[in-house]
Amino acid sequence: MASDTDFDAKNGIVDGPTPPHTELAALYKQSFAYYTFRVRLPSTLATIADSLVKDKDVLLATYGAAAEADIDQTTKDVRQLRADILGNGPLLPFGGNDSDTEVWNAFLEKLPKEKRSYFSTCWLYAECYMYRKISSIFRSTAHLPAHDYFSEQKQTAAKLSVDAMLAVAKATRHNERNSDTFRQLIKLNLWGNRCDLSITSGKQVKPTGNAFDQVTDLEEKLLIDGTAEVWKALDGASGEGIVDIIFDNAGYELYTDLILAEYIIDKGLAAKVRFSPKAIPWFISDVMEHDFHWTLQFLADHPDPALSEVGKKWQRLTTEGKFELSPLEHFWTSPYEFYRMPEVNQPLYDRLKEAQLVIFKGDLNYRKLLGDFSWDSTESFETCLRGFRPSNLCTLRTIKADLICGLGAGVAEQLFAKDKDWMLTGEYGVIQFASK
């Protein structure tokens, strides 16, 4: 890797923070985006390439001896992608005829020519491009197009979470329908978002301790709490409606998503909860359709009856259509911010309009709600949504990127005085709500 000094000089890197009211980009050396493209994402790509070498025998047993050439070529292509990022390579159009290729290439074509490289373009666009590029490497092969190269990490994350899952299962079997219980469960779900493999470049994070004690202990870390408004949007409705949950991470977070969804169904707050998974492997730990089914089966097969009963119950709710996986939408793995959904995918926007509440999980969904833009920290959530109001919506996010809105005057300054990296650690969270 070229030294930072040489790299920065060659690529016009600005030695300062992201200026106010501009796109977040790796162009700014003191930004998390710069660190992401110099360190975090190259590390993620090295892990993928190394695992292809390490797990080659397992892959050959799964996909057949004829897959050997594909495994070797894919390893080489992933390492080349890593080199391209470290060299600030160009964002080139995608080949192939995948269903999202045209949308991606049209998007890339509209980028200004001076903003078509990893460090010059908006952080959101470049990071999404990288994950789509990895997918295209695998999808272009004869034998590995359906291989989920993050699957093992996601399954390990679930297995490491069994103790926490068990405690939560036992504590939630006899819940009451009231705002206090709902507040506990939505905050449990919020803090479940701390377990995010993309932030640790794939290193596992094991949830420990009593989850409900932590909800209480973390109260001072919850910077915005719109729980009362979320409860009102559910409790005041007929109970015949739909709640949409836009997934983030597999593992423990997915489990807490399902705990919340179960409560919504069991207590008559909605007739159906629809889940939106990702269509391709995404940001290491994001939920794909097969992760959802794997998790339910993992729980159903668990030797502890408390977990087994939960798994079987959720499978039954899925069979009955009370839990439903939405049709796969490549919009969720596109580079587009959500305010552009009506122009890019009107049918998806119309489907979200059917819901009485849409819950967006995690940091990337938050970035797409706001756009990767350095808003003033006190700017209202409604303003930052830029007209994206298909329904009542809320976002549950532990903060792992340097953008935020809706804070009180002086709050961000106090947090920076305490810890300059407070926006990057997942230590703080927000529950923000906007009515339709």
Q: Are residues 165 and 311 in the same domain?
A: yes
Under the banding of pLDDT at 50, 70 and 90, the label for residue 202 is: low
Q: Are residues 289 and 393 in the same domain?
A: yes
Tell how strand 393-398 and strand 429-434 pair up: antiparallel
Q: Are residues 9 and 130 in the same domain?
A: yes
**What pLDDT shows up at residue 2?**
63
Task: Round the average pLDDT of the chain to a whole number and report it.
Answer: 96
- The 8-class DSSP code of residue 90 comes to B
d(CA 432, CA 179): 17
Domain boundary among 140, 165, 193: 140
Determine if residue 42 is left, alpha or beta; phi over 0 gives left, psi from -120 to 50 gives alpha, anything else beta.
alpha
Q: Are residues 265 and 358 in the same domain?
A: yes
Q: Are residues 164 and 91 in the same domain?
A: no
Q: Are residues 120 and 158 in the same domain?
A: no
Any alpha helices (H) in 66-118, and if so which ranges? Answer: 68-86, 101-110
pLDDT digits (tens, 9 = 90+) for 52-89: 999 999 999 999 999 999 999 999 999 999 999 999 99
Q: Are residues 356 and 228 in the same domain?
A: yes
Q: Which residues of 235-266 are buried (b: 16+ CB within 10 A; e: fewer)?
A: eeeeeebbbbbbbbbbbbbbbbbbbbbbbbbe
Q: Is residue 207 part of a domain?
A: yes
- The 8-class DSSP code of residue 288 comes to B
Q: Which residues of 399-419 are buried (b: 16+ CB within 10 A; e: fewer)?
A: bbbbbbbbbeeeebeebeeee
Domain holding 373: CATH number?
3.40.50.10880
pLDDT digits (tens, 9 = 90+) for 308-334: 999 999 999 999 999 999 999 999 999
Residue 361 has pLDDT above 60, yes or no: yes
Tell how strand 393-398 and strand 357-361 pair up: parallel
Query: pTM score, two decimals?
Result: 0.97
Q: Are residues 380 and 298 in the same domain?
A: yes
Least confident piece of the model among 29-43, 190-204, 278-292, 402-416: 190-204
**What pLDDT shows up at residue 130?**
98
Q: Is residue 145 part of a domain?
A: no
Q: Is residue 322 part of a domain?
A: yes
Q: Is residue 341 part of a domain?
A: yes
**What pLDDT shows up at residue 199?**
58
- Domain range for 78 is 1-140
Residue among 331, 332, 244 nearest 287 (CA): 332
Q: Is residue 78 part of a domain?
A: yes
* Average confidence (pLDDT) over 94-115: 96
Domain boundary among 81, 108, 140: 140
Q: Are residues 113 and 230 in the same domain?
A: no
**What pLDDT shows up at residue 204?**
73
Domain boundary among 140, 175, 203: 140
Residues in the chain: 436
Q: Are residues 278 and 325 in the same domain?
A: yes
Q: How many domains does the chain have?
A: 2
* Average confidence (pLDDT) over 252-281: 98
Residue 198 has pLDDT above 60, yes or no: no
**What pLDDT shows up at residue 212?**
85
Q: Are residues 76 and 206 in the same domain?
A: no
**What pLDDT shows up at residue 194?**
81
Domain holding 136: CATH number?
1.20.930.60
Q: Are residues 289 and 346 in the same domain?
A: yes
